[in-house]
Each structure stands twice: as C-alpha cells, then as structure tokens.
Homo-oligomer: A and B are copies of this chain.
Amino acid sequence: MSDAVETIAEIGELALLERLRPFCADVVGDDGALLKVAPDHQLVVTTDMLTDGVHFSDRTTPPHSVGWRATAANLSDLAAMGAAPLGITIGLGLPPQTPWPWVQHLYQGIADCLTQYGGAIIGGDLCRANQRTISITALGQVQPQQAIFRHTAFPGMTVVMTGRHGLSRAGLAVLLESADSGSSPDGSKQTKWIEAHQYPVPRFDAIAQIQSIHPHPTISGMDSSDGLANALLQISQRSGVGIEIAQSYLSIPTELVAFVGAKKALKWTLYGGEDFELVLCLSPKIANCFLAVCKSAIAIGITTDSGTVQLRSPDGCTQVIKHQSFQHFS
C-alpha cells in the first residue's frame, strides 16, 4: 500500500495544518491575524463560496485551477472596487477521504494567484464536510476617492469592457464536450478557452491604467463574474441610468459562432459568466485614453436616460436585456 494516495483522514487535522502552514503568511498562529491598512485608505471586504459539483468538478477543474479560480474571483471583486489586495482567509470544508495531493494543489493554485496579483493567506479554518467547499474572504485597501461603485454612472458615459465575454463558458463546453453542434475549434483556440475558464485574470492592470490617466477618474462599474448582461443591469439599476450597447461591438469570436452558432454565441457572451472582466462606465475622454493603452478593452455602448439596458442588433433593431442569471437553488 506504499504507493496509495494519502488521504487527509490518514494525515490528521493537526499534521494537515502543519503541511499547509508554508503556504500561509507569518501572521497565522493566533486567534486572528493582525493586518495594517495604509493611512488614508479604507478596507474592502468580499466573500465567495464555492462547492464541488456547482462551481467546479474533477471533470473540468484540476485542484490547482480550483484554487486559482477561487482566489481570482475574490481578487476580481477587489479590482472592481479599485482596491489593491491585502490578503485572504480560507474556510475549507473537506470529506475525510479527500486525497492530500488535491489539497496541496488547491493551496498551490491559491498561492500562485496571490504571488501574481498580491496578497497572502492570512488565516482560515478547516472542517469536515460531505462536499469539498471553499469559502474565501479577500481583504483589500483603497483610497476612498479611488473607490469604484455601481451606483455612480450617469447618462453620457462610455461603457467599456476590459475584454471579450463568453470565452469561459466556451472553455467549460469544450471541457464537458457538450457543444450542441457546429465545427470544433482548433487546438490553440480550445486551449485559450479552457485557460479562460480555468485561469481567469483579475484585471488590476486595467484599473492601474485608468488611474495613470487620471488619479480620480469619473467612473462606475463592477466585474462580470455573473455575466456581462448582469453587470450592465446592476449598474443600470443601481445608478438609475439606461445603457445602450451594440451587438457588433461585442467582438464575438467567429470561432465561437462557428462552434455553437450565432444565437448561442450571443447568449454565452451576455450570460455565460465567469469571465471576470470589468464593465466600466467612463467619461468619453478617459474612455478614449484608456482604449488607446489597454489592448483588450472594447467600447460597447453608452449610458442613456432610458432606464433600461438595450441591445442594438446589426440590423438596427433593439431589444431590452433582462436578468437571466444562474439561480443556485432552483
């Protein structure tokens, strides 16, 4: 049995904590971790919980990617608020038969994402659970005048997304081999979509570029974790503005249309979710400067005083976009 994979039940809780300690910052060890927030900064807090079979599965997400995605999802929320990461805590629920390498690679994925984008593991809790469950709380800091909210858009702003949408959903489809029809994308495209699903990028770079254009820009926005349409609707509803976007600006990849057809490609672009781009409303002047420096960014429309989110199709018709988000409990 020497080559059998060790389970966490065999290791035991105290030894497991010891094995995870090297991944953590030195502050771990007391009832709580002490952390310094810079003077004149405010704290930003965000929590995401992920469960096996809902947010990830062995079929689509190796443990390193589970760790990366869970971390990137939280860091993306910080980026969307204009904040810089300070650290994260991890609540981890695990069945006793979980193999140690799964936990090790999970933590390595978390650590790799933090190394790349900032922050450290500053606390957490392990407990027995029927289902692998990860609850991450991320802490960041922001100067109050640089904080980004959903409720501060007004008519006449340019609506920009920091990158294309629907690619994470396409990657999931490739991983599940569940595309309904159409031609399979070539290998490099498949790899890119799978990467979009397994290794999303929190867009701190975009915020830094905007702040280098103007330290206190006129801005409103959020991330597109629950889909592009959801982000547009949230900003519209919270700000009390309309948004009009043009389908031709959405840059839906031709390979995606070839893969699943135009209708589903549009659906995945609007409602696919988990692309973790930022959807930002900017003054036209700042938007132009931003689009000149951020290669992946695309202007998709404008804010209006209509109160609804409208999509203009290539033939000039408009349709009202509504919520169609993932319902966890249905």
Interface residues of A (CB under 8 A from B): 8-9, 11-14, 16, 29-37, 39, 42-51, 54-55, 76-78, 80-81, 83, 87, 89-94, 96, 122-131, 133, 135, 137-140, 142, 144, 147, 149-151, 222-223, 238, 323, 325, 327-330
Contacts and interface: CB of A to CB of B under 8 A. Distances in A.
24 contacts: A12-B329, A14-B323, A29-B151, A30-B80, A30-B81, A30-B149, A31-B78, A31-B222, A32-B83, A34-B142, A34-B144, A35-B44, A36-B43, A45-B89, A45-B123, A45-B139, A48-B91, A51-B129, A51-B130, A91-B91, A91-B135, A91-B137, A96-B330, A131-B131
Nearest to A80: B31
Given A54-B128, A124-B47, A150 B9 contact: no
A89 B44 CA distance: 12
Contacts of A9: 329-330
A127 B33 contact: no
A12 B91 contact: no
3 closest A-B pairs by CB: A91-B135, A135-B135, A32-B46
Contacts of A125: 47-49, 135
B128 A130 contact: no
Nearest to A55: B127
Contacts of A76: 31
A54 B127 contact: yes
Contact of A137 (B89, B140, B222, B323): B89
A249 B329 CA distance: 52
Contacts of A16: 329
A132 to B, nearest CB: 10
A96 B32 contact: no
A263 to B, nearest CB: 25
A13 B54 CA distance: 14
A116 B78 CA distance: 30
A300 to B, nearest CB: 19
Residue in A32, A37, A78, A144 with the greatest tally of chain B CB atoms within 10 Å: A32
Given A48-B91, A89-B137, A91-B47, A34 B128 contact: no
Contacts of A49: 91-93, 125-127, 133, 135
Contacts of A55: 127
Given A123-B45, A137-B47, A150 B329 contact: no
Nearest to A74: B32
A54 to B, nearest CB: 5
Nearest to A138: B32
